């Protein structure tokens, strides 16, 4: 590509000044190669999303996602940020759209109250070699078994596998000092793309931190698909109910306070079929609207 792409930097799931997870968005990415997309992510150091014409019947767009190290199947906060930007630019074909991603079709709803994106029903699996895996996870986080809450550690997923690690308190969560050099090896062995320790805050609110397997940075300020996976883990353990929203706070330890809102999709029989992810989106400080 001979012309530099028009890139907007948005902050997704922001919960206060300087909060949220930054996401570079390219709304006209049809002329970019995979190498060029990855270069954008490397230059910004964040998950980046690239909007393309639909490559699947019944979809309105195709989204591709890159982190500095590789392409991803799906990224919740980048999807939300891209839909928010497309809506601001008047480029959505309606209030309900379908987006093709490598992990499947994602639905999005643009309402006056905000943008929401869909995730399928979560899947929960025990750790392989559970006792050994638990010991390795605790060692890399720098804690012992007394720090764990009584719920199980799950490999949970809606789009990508995240390892849910229940801790006894928010203070323990905030005090984590992981050995980042060992996280990729542990995640590889247990079949996870990131460690997601969390603790109960109260009133349907949970605090969490995300330590990704190999994204090119050590911690994530807000992780939509991990929050969705967590919501299903909470539903399984009785800490969440189908008719009640779940709020997940993240990013405080990084100085980027974030809040992800998860709302379960419940059918007429009362069965949970999936969930909706939502949260506040804004331009990063100093960024101008792109795409004109």
pLDDT tens for the chain, residues 1 to 292: 445 689 999 999 999 889 999 999 999 999 999 999 999 999 999 999 999 999 999 999 999 999 988 999 999 999 999 999 999 999 999 999 999 999 999 999 998 889 999 999 999 999 999 999 999 999 999 999 999 999 999 999 998 999 999 999 999 999 999 999 999 999 999 999 999 999 999 889 999 999 999 878 899 999 999 999 999 999 999 999 999 999 999 999 999 999 999 999 999 999 999 999 999 999 986 555 544 3
* C-alpha–C-alpha distance, residues 38 and 46, integer Å: 10
Pick one of 3.10.310.10, 3.20.20.70, 2.60.120.1360, 3.30.750.200 as the CATH number of 7-120.
3.10.310.10
240, 228 Cβ separation under 8 angstroms = no
Is 123-263 in the same CATH topology as 7-120?
A: yes
Find out whether 18 and 265 touch, Cβ atoms under 8 Å: no
Q: Are 270 and 229 in contact (CB under 8 A)?
A: no
Question: Could you state, in order of their start, the residue ranges of all structural domains in the chain?
Answer: 7-120, 123-263
Class of domain 123-263: alpha beta
Q: Which residues contact 94 (CB under 8 A, 6 or more apart)?
A: none
């Amino acid at each position: 590509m001979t012309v530099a792409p028009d890139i907007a930097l948005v902050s997704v799931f922001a919960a206060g000044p300087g909060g949220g997870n930054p996401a570079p968005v390219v709304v006209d990415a049809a002329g970019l190669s995979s190498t060029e997309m990855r270069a954008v992510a490397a230059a910004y150091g964040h998950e980046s999303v690239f909007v393309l014409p639909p490559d699947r019947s019944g979809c309105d767009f195709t989204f591709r996602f890159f982190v500095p190290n590789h392409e991803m199947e799906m990224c919740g906060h980048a999807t939300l940020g891209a839909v928010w930007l497309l809506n601001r630019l008047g480029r959505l074909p309606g209030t309900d759209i379908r987006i093709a991603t490598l992990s499947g079709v994602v639905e999005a709803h643009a309402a006056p109250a905000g943008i929401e994106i869909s995730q399928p029903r979560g899947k929960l699996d025990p750790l392989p070699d559970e006792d050994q895996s638990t010991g390795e996870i605790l060692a890399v986080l720098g804690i012992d078994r007394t720090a764990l809450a009584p719920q199980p550690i799950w490999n949970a997923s809606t789009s990508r596998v995240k390892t849910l690690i229940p801790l006894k308190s928010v203070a323990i969560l905030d005090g984590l000092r992981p050995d980042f050099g060992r996280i990729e090896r542990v995640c590889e062995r247990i079949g996870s793309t990131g460690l997601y320790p969390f603790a109960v805050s109260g009133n349907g609110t949970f605090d969490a931190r995300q330590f990704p397997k190999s994204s090119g940075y050590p911690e994530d300020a807000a992780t939509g698909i991990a929050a969705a996976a967590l919501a299903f883990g909470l539903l399984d353990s009785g800490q969440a109910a189908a008719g009640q929203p779940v709020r997940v706070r993240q990013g405080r330890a990084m100085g980027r306070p974030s809040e992800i809102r998860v709302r379960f999709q419940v059918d007429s029989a009362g069965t949970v079929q999936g969930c909706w992810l939502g949260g506040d989106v804004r331009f990063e400080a100093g960024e101008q609207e792109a795409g004109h």
